[in-house]
Structure 1
Amino acid sequence: MAIRNQLPPWHEKMHLANGREVLIRPVRPEDATILRATFPLFEPQSVAKTFQSSDAELGVDDAARLAQPDPKNEFVLVATEPYEPGEAMIFAMVRGKTEEGSDEAEFHVLVGRNVLNLGLGRHLLSRLSRWTKGRGISRMVGDLPQENSPILDHADSLGFQRQSESEESGLVRVVLDGGASAEAEAPR
């Protein structure tokens, strides 16, 4: 009988459009230092909106908070090299957060400039949709890069509605009402 190589929940391997293999998994406390080191590679507009700052650096406290999300109301996945947490470069991350007692989530997708337009942002957005469905979240709100039409089109296919564009920020506000889409499949 063959033994299957199974990954833990919320872990999966993915091949990007350029052939590079990445591991998508929940963020770990060991990732804080690597998050700080790879943070300058993330898209500047998304960083500014996510952290209400134009700093290209992620502070020690912010990195520690991101690497240790509160499981009651926060979900953070990272796309990394297929190495151990704390050793693998982080290419992208998606974060969903609810306020206690709320059925609305705010989300952020950060993708490194070195892996833009390879399908990673779209894939992470699908995983976030799966998380919201499992949590019974009825409304999800976030901002996506205006120039990234593939992720905006994917958001449209998941049922998101575009609410507003901001020329100065370069971001489009998208909202998903009524829960996540049918694309939200069971964990692998």
Structure 2
Amino acid sequence: MTPGTPRPASRRPSRRPERTDVLRLPDGREMWIRPVNPLDAGPIDGAFQLLNEDEVRRRYLHPVKALSPEYLHALVNPVPGEHFAVVAAEPLPPGEALVGALARLDRDPGSDSAEFAILVSHFLAGQGLGLALMRRLVEWAQANGIRHIWGDVLDDNTAMIALAQAVGFRREHIPGAFGEVRVTLDLDDAPAPRRRR
């Protein structure tokens, strides 16, 4: 089995966050939910160019015109145990597959907390990918000693806030930050995420 190839559906599901899951979207498309690969840098950069200004603003909290080479390199080469990134991509090898969604966790230095970020392209919005990606982030966090996941979200990003609250995040005020809220999940209190059947 080549790297990135999903496990046959007949096998017992793995709980390893590094696995590849096959997800059939409600519109019939098939996506692979898998860890990011260094070869994804080009497709991720290409996908960024297709995002509208509002998508970029909601993900980065401010306008971003382009992804720097340094940012892309760090994104597709996460440090084991410190960073984790997972993509929703076409069922093709990394480098050839279009990447339609991406989620990542960055451990706060020297702590048991980590910041999350999720971006789902408008081409795939409303298909349940955000929830699938969030579940993978939670699995990785639990496997790597993370006890708290947090993220800052624009308060008009109602879809992200609703997703976070559905998973069990609580919403908090950020002193001095106008237009943003913080969502936090305490994994000690959170049940292990259930896999799709």
Indicate the TM-score class for this superposition, using the shorter chain for normalisation: 0.7 to 0.9
Displacement of 1:26 after TM fit?
A: 0.4
Q: Select which of 179, 186, 191 maps to 1:177.
A: 186
Q: Select which of 42, 47, 55 maps to 2:59.
A: 47
User: Are 1:96 and 2:105 an aligned pair?
Assistant: yes
Structure 2, gaps ≥5 residues long: 1-6
User: Which amino acid in 2 is paired with 1:163?
Assistant: E
Contact 1:141 1:173 in 2 (8 A): yes
Displacement of 1:45 after TM fit?
A: 2.1
The equivalent of 1:153 in structure 2 is 162
- Alignment RMSD (CA, Å): 2.9
Equivalent positions of 1:31-180 (< 5 A) are 31-42=40-51, 43-49=55-61, 53-144=62-153, 146=155, 149=158, 151-164=160-173, 172-179=181-188
Structure 1, gaps ≥5 residues long: none
Query: Do the aligned partners of residues 60 and 126 (structure 1) sit closer, same or farther apart at CA in structure 2, a change above 3 Å counting?
Result: same
**TM-score, scaled relative to structure 2:** 0.78
Query: Do the aligned partners of residues 147 and 65 (structure 1) sit closer, same or farther apart at CA in structure 2, a change above 3 Å counting?
Result: same
Deviations 1:126-176 (A, max 9, x none): 21111112222121111346455454334223221011389975x542111
Q: Find the residue that maps to 2:123 and give its secondary structure.
A: helix
Q: Find the residue that maps to 1:71 and give its secondary structure.
A: coil
Alignment partners' CA distance in 1, 2:99 and 2:30: 12
The equivalent of 1:27 in structure 2 is 36
Q: Percent identity?
A: 33
**TM-score, scaled relative to structure 1:** 0.82
Q: Find the residue that maps to 2:184 and give its secondary structure.
A: strand
More displaced 10-residue stretch of structure 1: 158-167 or 174-183? 158-167
Alignment partners' CA distance in 1, 2:121 and 2:189: 25
Query: Do the aligned partners of residues 118 and 112 (structure 1) sit closer, same or farther apart at CA in structure 2, a change above 3 Å counting?
Result: same
The equivalent of 1:15 in structure 2 is 24
Deviations 1:25-84 (A, max 9, x none): 0001111111111113342223323xxx51232122211110101112000000001101
Alignment partners' CA distance in 2, 1:56 and 1:113: 18
Q: Find the residue that maps to 1:110 and give its secondary structure.
A: strand
Matched pairs, number: 181
Alignment partners' CA distance in 1, 2:83 and 2:189: 16
User: Which amino acid in 1 is paired with 2:72?
Assistant: A
Query: Do the aligned partners of residues 148 and 55 (structure 1) sit closer, same or farther apart at CA in structure 2, a change above 3 Å counting?
Result: closer
Alignment partners' CA distance in 1, 2:79 and 2:58: 22
Query: Do the aligned partners of residues 70 and 79 (structure 1) sit closer, same or farther apart at CA in structure 2, a change above 3 Å counting?
Result: same
More displaced 10-residue stretch of structure 1: 87-96 or 141-150? 141-150
